[in-house]
């Protein structure tokens, strides 16, 4: 059920130019969670993240968790990958620098 996006990507790129050799090879870079997610002041603020399934990448920081895809939503400013184990956020790009998470 996952990775409809990569299917689409493959289709598009094979139509125009030769396909990126490896769609699955993503470059992950850690993001500051304070930048990615709105942190509300006040004690009643409970942050609820909607995730959209696991991706194949393993967290590069703790090497434990499968990263989860988090798309933009109420308190999330940009799509990113999230590790629930160490609570880190990562940006994902293709090897050529194109953002991998924009839809
Ligand atoms: Zn982690």
pTM above threshold 0.75: no
Is 103 within the bounds of a domain?
Answer: no
CA of 80 to the centre of ligand 1 (A): 13
Confidence of residue 91 (pLDDT cuts 50, 70, 90): very high
Residue 25 has a pLDDT of: 77
Is 10 within the bounds of a domain?
Answer: no
Domain of residue 90 covers: 26-94
Token pair of 54 as six digits: 């696991």
CA–CA separation, 67 and 57 (whole Å): 6
Is 8 within the bounds of a domain?
Answer: no
**Cα dihedral 5, 11, 16, 17 sign:** positive
Q: Per-residue pLDDT tens for 27-64?
A: 999 999 889 988 766 655 566 778 989 998 999 999 99
CA of 95 to the centre of ligand 1 (A): 21
Residue 65: pLDDT over 50: yes
Q: What's the total number of domains in the chain?
A: 1
CA of 89 to the centre of ligand 1 (A): 9
CA of 10 to the centre of ligand 1 (A): 28
Is 6 within the bounds of a domain?
Answer: no
Is 20 within the bounds of a domain?
Answer: no
Q: Checking phi first, is residue 53 left (phi over 0); if not, alpha (psi -120 to 50) or beta?
A: left
Q: Per-residue pLDDT tens for 71-86?
A: 999 889 999 999 999 9
* Residues 90/67, Cβ–Cβ less than 8 Å: yes
CA of 75 to the centre of ligand 1 (A): 21
């Amino acid at each position: 059920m996952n990775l409809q996006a990569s299917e689409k990507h493959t289709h598009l790129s094979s139509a125009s130019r030769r396909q990126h050799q490896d769609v699955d090879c993503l470059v992950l870079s850690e993001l500051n969670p304070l930048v990615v997610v709105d942190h509300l002041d006040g004690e009643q603020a409970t942050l609820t993240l909607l995730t959209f399934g696991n991706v194949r990448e393993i967290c590069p920081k703790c090497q434990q968790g499968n990263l989860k895809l988090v798309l933009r939503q109420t308190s999330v400013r940009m799509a990113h990958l999230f590790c629930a184990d160490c609570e880190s956020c990562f940006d994902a790009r293709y090897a050529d620098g194109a953002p991998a998470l924009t839809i």
